[in-house]
Structure 1
Amino acid sequence: MAEGSPAVAKAKPQAQSRIGNGKALLDGVDGRSATMRRYREILAQLKADLGDSPSEAMMMLLRRATTLAVWCEGEEAKLAKGEDISIGEFTSTVNALRRLLSDIGLQRKAKDITPTLKSYLADTYSGEAA
């Protein structure tokens, strides 16, 4: 840490919000609705594409991208049912989503599954010494 920089203390789990401690994705939203289930699916897939360990800043972008994706899917469902949608709003939202996904990185990143030296040695040599 640079000299003179203030240390940032991490909040204890009981002092964090439900969103911050991972118990909720959105404040005050019932997670059982079909829309919320789809939101969780898309968010999980985007996180997996990044190797399941995105930074908080990246999570902010992922949540925004997920919101736009869910909205677009809802508009597409309306269109498929013969309902009118605003093509201008839809196009703007798709463009915003594309830009967010571009910022996030559209390429899938491999998750690091390299074992630690300790686990490798334990797996390799367990049972040989007796």
Structure 2
Amino acid sequence: MAKTTSVPKPQGRSRIGNGKDLLPGVNGRSATMRRYREIYAQLVRDMGGDPSEAKSIIAKRSATLAIWCEDVEATMANGGDLDIGEFTTATNALRRLLTDIGLERKARDITPTLEQYLRQNHGEAA
């Protein structure tokens, strides 16, 4: 007999699983976290707005690497050192992750369900 897995009820899910947090135990008001949310939200929009869990995980890792690269670039622009090997490795990893979720922006599917269509065009009786 095959095992089936069920999706936990919202009250049984973690704060990350139910969408209240993106990362565990992180102050969401820090500049880094605000930037992380910006990048992650844009990646989700670019994927059409409803990514699979796997794509969401890849988008989170992409946001992390993007922030790391931005910090390294800012350090370099301010006269600091840049480890070109470390930077190249990170940017190549970022490129591969972004390729996995798709580099092209996808339109969000706004096609109404049959129920929504009937409600809009034939009133509540449908």
What displacement does 1:12 show? Answer: 2.0
Structure index of larger Rg = 1
Task: Structure 2: give runs of 5+ residues left out of the alignment.
Answer: none
Aligned counterpart, 2:78: 81
Residues 37-56 of structure 1 correspond to what in structure 2 (within 5 A)? Answer: 37-56=34-53
Structure 2 CA distance, aligned partners of 1:10 and 1:36? Answer: 28
Query: 2:94: which partner in 1?
Result: 97
For residue 100 of structure 1, give the secondary structure of its aligned residue in structure 2: helix
* Counterpart check, 1:20 vs 2:26: no
> What is the Cα deviation at residue 10 of structure 1?
1.5
Specify whether residues 18 and 114 from structure 1 end up closer, same or farther in structure 2 by C-alpha distance, changes over 3 A only. Answer: same
Cα distance, 1:86 vs. partner? 1.1
How far residue 41 of structure 1 moved from its aligned partner, in angstroms, is: 0.4
**Counterpart code for 1:29:** V
SS at match of 1:14: helix
User: In the TM superposition, what whole-angstrom CA distance separates every residue of 1:12-61 from its partner, at most 9, and x where no partner exists?
Assistant: 22222111111111111101001100000000000001111111111111
Deviation at 1:103, TM superposition (A): 1.2
Q: Which runs of 5+ in 1 are unaligned?
A: none
3-state SS of 2:11 partner: helix
**Residue matched to 1:69:** 66
How many pairs align?
123
- Tell me the equivalent position of 2:56: 59
2:14 maps to 1:11: no
- Give the match's secondary structure for 1:90: helix
Q: 1:125 to 1:15 in 2, by over 3 A?
A: closer
Sequence identity (%): 60
List structure 1 segments (4+ residues) > 6 angstroms apart after TM superposition: none
